[in-house]
Structure formats: structure tokens, C-alpha cells
């Protein structure tokens, strides 16, 4: 039963060199027509899979949602409220690039129900911002946060990146120090991954991209964990840290393998036991809507075996781990019977531990998370 919504806005005013998300340069795009189509998708979605209860989390991502005009973004936000029953306590997040939302736009968002922002800072080093092709300056992050707080949005998450080309530990320490001067409640921090169809991928293939060694990347990760912990931001997932009580509800939907609606071009969804992927290119997405269909590129009914795999490798991303009891209640089988020899093997290697019926990664397991997750793939 979906209690969450992901809405994708695929427009950007500038394309970052590392980004492989579904996105398009804003200029000359059919934005108003796209919004019309997303509203139509909302109507068809609730008809196909009616909500059985109030929506508890909404995440509007991109792209850059705030690259839209205030009136355009408002149409999408009010559309969500029109088609879906939204809980008064719902966590409602919008992604924001520093400097992309003025006071008027933020006040509109707050009035519509938005109560959380995810701000893409990435780094506080001006040279590194140029390297990754970001269009803001370090000081824009604080200015954006202050404007948000003045508009009544005080739950602020900041995205950071490390292992960037040419980034030293001094750069990373300085960025972490700048981050901790900000009034934020949540931090998401990810190492750079070179993805196909990005500028960085093209440079990497040509040998024109200098990246830190894996060992150095691990040192940066450990430095971040230590610094954020000392500042009172608890690590509740491999790459996410929060002031107690401000952990992301929406992210936990994914990590706990719960269902959610996916709306917009390129969006992924998981409803009624079926995973869906929408068409990414705007012409294909809009053509599907014009033909009276839901804009699915792919649909896949998730088998019980796949559900068990996802429950484990997604749930183990969280520091609290996974519950043996919940696993049995969902799938009517014990973890050890579903994955024979795997759990004992991970215990023996010191990558997995257990406390009061919950399995979780050890300190070593955090550094080798992908290796642990692969063990739970039965296929």
C-alpha cells in the first residue's frame, strides 16, 4: 500500500558533469505542457492504484524543481494535494539548488505544504564547484537556508560529495567545517561515482580525469563520519546523518522496501507489488500520456525471492539494520532459511552483527557494504 510519492521534475538551468539523472536543459522546453501531462498522470495513477490511506511522505526531485517558475511549481504541488490524500504530518521535501529559490517561491512552497528542503551544496570549495560544473558559489548555501527559514521551512538537508577530481583532505575538512556552521538538520554525503552518459565519464574514458584512490576515498568517508558524529549528527544510514528526530521519512520508504508512487518523466515507482519505470525522454513520456496510457517504459512484478533480497540489501544500509521478526512476518520464512550459510559467513568475517533480533553492519561492514549486499542476491 503506497504511502509515499516521488515526483520528478527533469529540468535544469545547468547540467552538472557528474549527473546521470533524467534531466534536460531548461531553455526552450515545453514545461507547461509537461506539467499538464504530470497532472494527467496523477489522475490516471490514483484511478489505477487508489490510495488506501494518507500519504506520509512526498519527495519532489530532479533535475532542479526550483528551476520552474513559482506559478509552474505551484501547479505541481497543488496537483499532488488535489489528487492524493496527504497527511497533515507528512514530510514534504523539495530539492533546491543554492540560489534557485527566492523568498516568494519559498513562501509559495511553504503555503502548499512543503516543510523540508534538500539543498545541493556538494562542496564549499569554489574551484571544485567549477570542476563539477555547479552554478552557485559557496556563500549561496547559507543565503538559501536563511531565506527558507524566514519562509517557515526549518527542516533543512544538505547534499555533499567527496572523492571529487583533485579534492584533497584539506578541501574536505574545510567543506565539512563550513557545513557545520550552517543551521541544518540532515546531511546526505556520497562519494563521486563515474556514471555513463556524463561529461565525467567521457573525460575518464579519455584518461583526462584524475580521481582519488579507493583507500583515500575510504579515509574521507571515515573523516566525515567522525566529524559529523562529534557535531551531533547521528549516522542512521551508510550515507545519511541527522539531528535526532530529523531522519528522512522518505528515504526510509526505499530502505525498508515499502511501496511508493513514482510520477513524472523517468520516475521509478513501486505499487501493488509492481515496479514501474516511466519513459525518460520528454517526447516519449508525453506521447504515452497523449495516447491515454500511463507512461510506463517498463513494469516488473516483484517475486517473493526478489522482495526478500531487497529487504535485506536495502535494509542493511540503515544502522539499525533489519528485523528477523519483520522478515518472517512479511515472507513466512526465517532469514537463515531464506539465505542459508550467508548470515553465518558474514558473522564469521566480522561484517555483520546482531542485537535483540536485528541484523546490522559492523564498522568493517560499512566500508564493504556493497560486498555484503551482493551476498543476498539469490539469482
pLDDT classification of 14: cutoffs 50, 70, 90: confident
The CATH T-level fold of domain 4-255 is TIM Barrel (3.20.20)
Nearest-CA neighbor of 255 among 323, 206, 176, 204? 323
**What average pLDDT does range 96-116 have in this prediction?**
96
pLDDT of 307 over the 80 cut? yes
**What average pLDDT does range 353-367 have in this prediction?**
94
Phi-psi region of 293 (alpha: psi -120 to 50; beta: other; left: phi over 0): beta
Task: Name which residue leads in pLDDT, 271 or 377.
Answer: 271
pLDDT of 321 over the 70 cut? yes
pLDDT at 21: 78
Q: 334-350 pLDDT, tens per residue?
A: 999 999 889 999 999 99
Computed over every residue of the chain, the mean pLDDT equals: 94
The CATH T-level fold of domain 304-375 is Arc Repressor Mutant, subunit A (1.10.10)
Q: 50-87 pLDDT, tens per residue?
A: 999 999 999 999 989 999 999 999 999 999 999 999 99
**What average pLDDT does range 357-370 have in this prediction?**
93
Rounded to two decimals, what is the model's pTM?
0.95
**What average pLDDT does range 354-372 have in this prediction?**
93
pLDDT at 16: 87
Nearest-CA neighbor of 134 among 184, 192, 180? 192
Q: Which residues of 66-87 are buried (b: 16+ CB within 10 A; e: fewer)?
A: bbbebebbbbbbebbeebbebe
**What average pLDDT does range 236-242 have in this prediction?**
97
**What average pLDDT does range 92-102 have in this prediction?**
95
pLDDT of 18 over the 60 cut? yes
H helical segments located in the chain: 31-48, 70-83, 103-112, 126-131, 139-150, 169-180, 199-205, 214-230, 249-255, 282-290, 304-315, 324-331, 335-338, 342-348, 363-367, 369-375
Number of C-beta neighbours around residue 38 at 10 A? 24
Angle at 137 between CA 224 and CA 106, to 5 degrees: 95
Within 8 A by CB and 6+ apart from 320, the residues are 236, 358, 360
**What average pLDDT does range 305-331 have in this prediction?**
95
Nearest-CA neighbor of 184 among 220, 232, 226? 232
Domain residue spans of the chain? 4-255, 304-375
pLDDT at 378: 61
Within 8 A by CB and 6+ apart from 67, the residues are 9, 11, 12, 13, 26, 97, 100
Q: Quote the CA–CA distance of 197 and 184 in Å, as a whole number.
A: 33
Grid cell, residue 117, equals 528542503
Q: Quote the CA–CA distance of 333 and 337 in Å, as a whole number.
A: 7
Nearest-CA neighbor of 118 among 109, 127, 108, 126? 109
Q: Quote the CA–CA distance of 277 and 188 in Å, as a whole number.
A: 25
**What average pLDDT does range 205-218 have in this prediction?**
89
DSSP 66: G
- Side-chain half-sphere of 104: how many Cα atoms within 13 Å? 5
pLDDT classification of 377: cutoffs 50, 70, 90: confident
Strand partners, 189: 160
Min mean pLDDT across 1-15, 17-31, 124-138, 303-317 is at: 17-31
pLDDT at 19: 82
pLDDT of 379 over the 60 cut? no
- Contact between 128 and 166 under an 8 Å Cβ cutoff? The reply is yes
**What average pLDDT does range 217-233 have in this prediction?**
96
Min mean pLDDT across 163-172, 315-324, 364-373 is at: 364-373
Amino acid at each position: 500500500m503506497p504511502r509515499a510519492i516521488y515526483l520528478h521534475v527533469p529540468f535544469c538551468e545547468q547540467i552538472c558533469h557528474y549527473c546521470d539523472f533524467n534531466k534536460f536543459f531548461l531553455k526552450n522546453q515545453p514545461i507547461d505542457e509537461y506539467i499538464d501531462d504530470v497532472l494527467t498522470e496523477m489522475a490516471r495513477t490514483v484511478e489505477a492504484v487508489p490510495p488506501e490511506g494518507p500519504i506520509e511522505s512526498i519527495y519532489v526531485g530532479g533535475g532542479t524543481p526550483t528551476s520552474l517558475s513559482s506559478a509552474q511549481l505551484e501547479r505541481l504541488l497543488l496537483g499532488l494535494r488535489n489528487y492524493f490524500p496527504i497527511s497533515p504530518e507528512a514530510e514534504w521535501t523539495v530539492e533546491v539548488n543554492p540560489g534557485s529559490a527566492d523568498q516568494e517561491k519559498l513562501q509559495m512552497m511553504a503555503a502548499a505544504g512543503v516543510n523540508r528542503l534538500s539543498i545541493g551544496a556538494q562542496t564549499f570549495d569554489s574551484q571544485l564547484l567549477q570542476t563539477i560544473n555547479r552554478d552557485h558559489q559557496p556563500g549561496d548555501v547559507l543565503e538559501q537556508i536563511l531565506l527558507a527559514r524566514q519562509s517557515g521551512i526549518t527542516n533543512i538537508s544538505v547534499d555533499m560529495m567527496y572523492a571529487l577530481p583533485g579534492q584533497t583532505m584539506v578541501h574536505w575538512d574545510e567543506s565539512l567545517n563550513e557545513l557545520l556552521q550552517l543551521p541544518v538538520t540532515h546531511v546526505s554525503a556520497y562519494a563521486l561515482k563515474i556514471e555513463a552518459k556524463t561529461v565525467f565519464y567521457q573525460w575518464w574514458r579519455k584518461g583526462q580525469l584524475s580521481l582519488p584512490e579507493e583507500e583515500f576515498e575510504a579515509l574521507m568517508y571515515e573523516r566525515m563520519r567522525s566529524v559529523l558524529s562529534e557535531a551531533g549528527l547521528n549516522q542512521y544510514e551508510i550515507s545519511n546523518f541527522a539531528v535526532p528526530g530529523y531522519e528522512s521519512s522518505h528515504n526510509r520508504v526505499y530502505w525498508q522496501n515499502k511501496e511508493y508512487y513514482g510520477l513524472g518523466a523517468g520516475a521509478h515507482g513501486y505499487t501493488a507489488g509492481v515496479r514501474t519505470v516511466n519513459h525518460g525522454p520528454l517526447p516519449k513520456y508525453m506521447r504515452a500520456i497523449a495516447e491515454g496510457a500511463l507512461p510506463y517504459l517498463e513494469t516488473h512484478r516483484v517475486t517473493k525471492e526478489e522482495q526478500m533480497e531487497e529487504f535485506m540489501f536495502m535494509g542493511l544500509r540503515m544502522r539499525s539494520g533489519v528485523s528477523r521478526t519483520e522478515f518472517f512476518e512479511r515472507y513466512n520464512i526465517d532469514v537463515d532459511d531464506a539465505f542459508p550459510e550467508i548470515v553465518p559467513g558474514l558473522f564469521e568475517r566480522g561484517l555483520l552483527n546482531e542485537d535483540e533480533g536485528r541484523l546490522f553492519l559492523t564498522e568493517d561492514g560499512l566500508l564493504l557494504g556493497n560486498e555484503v549486499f551482493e551476498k543476498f542476491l539469490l539469482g
